[in-house]
Structure 1
């Protein structure tokens, strides 16, 4: 058994310093050639333990870190793409993560999204509070440890830093994490370390690297064990065309050994398994050589995990980013394993619901998980661009439930020949390359739809209303009765039934007129001429009587359960009077309602 380097991913909001941090780490290791420099991989940078030793020096000794971990393997893919593309069976490919936050700006939408992804995959992480050099009055000391530079800061600067740190602590607490500045932590197993750094000056990078190594040493040694001679397991990062090589795949190998001429299994866009033979394994030349050299790669015969490698092989055109990669020691087993891994997420899960499309297996998995957390039913989840079949399926789902007429598309396009079909349909498309924003837009749409539905129901149910037949304003006694009225409370509409204070049906409102204009509805304070079908003035009511809109019992229960908060004080008073009138005849009318 061998212990491999832990795979580390850097996540965070755009412009908060992900690339600067990786560039600084790479730059400092390149400069220190005597310590062994670095090994550059496809999509990754490996820093060996002797280089880390040279950078961190005494600080590692203080943490009593032993030399069992061979180094750190940083995934270069910026942002959460490393998580949403790179995965292995059971979760994320990365063993550890750095969540980078601009200490002066705090958590942003993409920071929160990255945090959700870390939470989803249960990945251990540390927070790099970047850009401390921009705190007003900060006295920078290049390449110094935070422990060395912090004591020399002015008291006001120290206080400002602490205030900003505790803002981060508060946000993390809201998201379910206990955290503290790294040098104040009492329990590394239960608290997230916040390390103040500057990717520009290098301050705090020593502690950052040492803390990663410490976490790996303490909690990950078991999962970092690999069989050096076992068939390789990996995941596809990217499919690229290289001059002279044709279509190639960039892959991260996280277990076993990969050799030239190995037969490998990969996932293709049709959800089938491609079996192909490796023609060439290509490693990039070290960074310092690449500056002058016209050649990018050198051919190797084998690589051992953890490693990033470019593979040239036949028929790679349709391979999917994020596909599992397996060396076929046993063809049937490897093929079954690849299909099983894909089926875990890329499968129709329910008979109704929304459609999800994504660019990679990992991003599909993330989308499915996050929408399930919102209790959103998912009819289908697949890799690839939005096509005509998706629009047809979504239209079918919409007929069953209008809230299911949605396609969520992460980092994929709508095929050109389908754009008109989509525009002509009522299907709602939510697309983009930030999961957080897509979900936000989807939730906003759902809320709008629910509010619209609620409004339609509210507009169509019978609500409390009371009016008075005005004295000396009877224009016709019957067939229909036409009288002058004033609305005392609520809204009165055409075709509503009317009762008197003894719960006797007076008749049905035929029409309402004011100065020659026919009105479909009137509100409190309005005075109009009203025609009431089947009513006889003097028999069913008299001038000066108060009359009530007759609310069906089912409508009453709906009003008090769903819309009581929308009623005005006078409407609530009228509703209470109406219930009392009804219960004189039937004590159980509207039982367990608002006025119990």
Structure 2
């Protein structure tokens, strides 16, 4: 299937954190004609494939290499790499048959031993880890699935981890590990109880008070009161860096884990989007209130971004009644793109509305022989030479004297909302004007653009006008300055 949105998201996070990685090019068993063999190393499996299968595999690997090159990475199939420090290793695998998995584990182990040897040392100290998720298990209550990456976890230890209301301190009741050949997330939950776990390992911890445990939270084991106090401080400091509550005029961000929250907030800040509140869990009524406060002063920031979380029923009602924009997605970059696209469309629409409310430059010539009425109102035939004329636009002559306001525009007895350059139309002018006095046949007339409109056009909407319209605006400014009506 190649690169998907989630692939780009992961690569961006890995690149930003400078994390080394390898690529598991999965589903090789789906190549038409692939000869399967359970848990074979790739180097062996490829020898059993027909030539056309090998060619197709080469094409698919080449596509991955080419895509990585586009993204600024050097990559190749793992068995062709000489310098793993400079080249991303691609390991063809099949999660279904297990083919290539031995190679994947070998490369991971080899790279870890080669480049992370000092960090692989494990001492007999209290365990450190990360909470993957919290779940309810029948007969056990709330449990947490954890990766222990350093130290030793013992059944008699206390643990400290992040909770929705602050650090959670509790005693371990059970440490459960998957039985051999059994997956951690297997729905049958076939685990065995152990008294001690040495890093690195994935375990399930049973304890009281885990209902509000936060996925992605750091977790520490403690064997003394001093260990507990130190761990509480560490957990509080790490979580406070990610969970944000400020008075800033910014967006409200909710996510399912601390890791995804950190990635989302980091990306928003990188793109210059301020964050007012960032927290874990479903969108709540409080979040809606915070977004409402921001929207009163900044409509573009008064929104809620929800990554992989739901919305409480009372919050849904508040969102609907208050009209707060809610953006939801399970892909970080899609979520941000949806929000930024909305901002752009909203800004473009407001810009169009503001531009439509402005009086824009226009120039026309009164056609000889087409004076239908000389005054009150004057009705004449004109040719629009540049810009546009609209009902309600004020007019002036070439000396800057105000003539009046356009009442109506007609073309062959059809009423128009505007006339643009190149059109010949009839206009009625209400005001202090008499054809033959203030203006005559063959004379040029101009839209009398107000000074504040001129400034706004020059500052914000110059890119919306054509070159002839900008030249005409300069001409109008010159006429108004000469008559003392523009400073």
Question: TM-score range with shorter-chain normalisation?
Answer: 0.7 to 0.9
CA contact (8 A) 1:484 1:529 kept: yes
Q: Which residue of 2 aligns with 1:306?
A: 200
Which ranges in structure 1 are unaligned for 5 or more consecutive residues? 1-104, 590-596
- 1:145-164 residue pairs with structure 2 within 5 A? 145-148=41-44, 150=46, 158-164=54-60
Q: Does 1:238 align with 2:133?
A: yes
The separation in 1 between residues aligned to 2:250 and 2:204, in whole angstroms, is: 39
Q: CA deviation at 1:500?
A: 3.3
1:533 is matched with which residue? Answer: 431
Aligned to 1:181: 77
Larger relative contact order, structure 1 or 2 (CA cutoff 8 Å, min sep 6): 1
Q: Aligned partners of 1:311, 1:296: CA distance in 2, in Å?
A: 14
Pairing partner for 1:362 from 252, 255, 259: 259
C-alpha distance in structure 2 between counterparts of 1:119 and 1:353, whole Å: 26
* TM norm structure 2: 0.86
CA-to-aligned-CA distance 1:79-119 (integer Å, 9 cap, x gap): xxxxxxxxxxxxxxxxxxxxxxxxxx211112222222323
CA distance in 2: counterparts of 1:584 and 1:493, whole angstroms: 20
CA contact (8 A) 2:135 2:142 kept: yes
Q: Does 2:134 correspond to 1:275?
A: no
Cα distance between partner residues in 1 of 2:330 and 2:284: 18
Alignment of 1:31-430 (within 5 A): 105-136=1-32, 143-148=39-44, 150=46, 158-227=54-123, 229-270=124-165, 272-287=166-181, 296-328=190-222, 329=224, 330=226, 331-348=228-245, 351-430=248-327
Deviation at 1:476, TM superposition (A): 3.8
Alpha-carbon spacing, 1:442–1:541, altered in 2? closer, same or farther (3 Å):
same
CA deviation map 1:407-460 (0-9, x unaligned): 011122211122211111121111232323322321221221122122223323
Bigger mean CA offset, 206-215 vs 487-496: 487-496
Aligned CA distance change for structure 1 residues 257 and 158 (closer, same or farther; 3 Å): closer
1:32-56 residue CA offsets vs partner (Å, 9 max, x unmatched): xxxxxxxxxxxxxxxxxxxxxxxxx
User: 1:491-517, CA deviations, whole angstroms, 9 ceiling, x for partnerless residues?
Assistant: 21233232334x423423241143887
- 2:420 matches 1:523: yes
Name the SS of the counterpart of 2:363 in structure 1: strand
What's the offset of the Cα at 1:577? 4.7
Match of 1:543 among 419, 422, 441: 441
How far does residue 404 in structure 1 lie from its aligned partner after superposition? 0.6
Secondary structure (helix, strand or coil) at the match of 1:404 reads coil
Q: What number of residue pairs does the alignment pair up?
A: 475
Q: Flag structure 2 segments of 5+ consecutive residues without an equivalent.
A: none
Cα pair distance change 1:449/1:582, threshold 3 Å:
closer
Contact 1:150 / 1:158 at 8 angstroms: preserved in 2?
Answer: yes
Whole-angstrom CA distance in 1 between matches of 2:47 and 2:145: 45
**Secondary structure of 2:244's aligned partner:** coil
Show CA shifts across 1:110-151 (max 9, x none): 222222232343322111222334445656666554445557
**Residues 139-185 of structure 1: per-residue CA shift (max 9 Å, x gap):** 66665544455577676655544443332223223333222232333
| TM-score normalised per structure 1 | 0.72
Name the Cα RMSD after superposition: 3.2
Q: Which moved more, 1:298-307 or 1:136-145?
A: 136-145
